[in-house]
């Protein structure tokens, strides 16, 4: 499977390319910090693992809290 096909599958789950990049980067950080991959793959191919996890709906996406709900900062 080529990486282009894998990214297209991920875009079906997360339609915004910017959001997909953020999710992939955060998951990559978790794996590099010692997190366990949720798919079987070679350790040297962490990015492939990240996209496989996203394409298979194995990554939970927790949106940041709405900024409008937070009180304004005092100056």
Domain count, the chain: 1
Task: Give the pTM.
Answer: 0.73
CA distance 51 to 66: 26
In this predicted structure, what is the pLDDT of residue 72? 54
Task: Decide if 38 is inside a domain.
Answer: yes
d(CA 50, CA 27): 7
Per the domain annotation, does 41 fall within a domain? yes
Are residues 54 and 14 in contact, defined by beta-carbon separation less than 8 angstroms? yes
CB 23 within 8 A of CB 54: yes
Assess if residue 33 is contained within a domain. Answer: yes
Residue 74 located in a structural domain:
no
Specify whether the CB–CB gap between 11 and 54 falls below 8 A.
Answer: no
Q: Give the pLDDT of the chain (75 residues) as one tens digit per residue.
A: 556 668 899 999 999 999 999 999 999 999 999 999 899 876 668 888 999 999 999 998 887 765 455 555 554
Domain that holds residue 52: 3-59
């Amino acid at each position: 499977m080529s990486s282009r096909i894998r990214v297209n599958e991920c875009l079906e789950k997360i339609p915004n390319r910017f959001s997909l990049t953020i999710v992939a980067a955060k998951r990559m950080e978790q794996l590099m910090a010692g997190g366990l991959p949720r798919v079987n793959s070679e350790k040297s191919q962490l990015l492939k693992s990240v996209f496989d996890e996203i394409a298979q709906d194995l990554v939970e996406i927790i949106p940041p809290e709405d900024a409008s709900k937070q009180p304004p900062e005092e100056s």
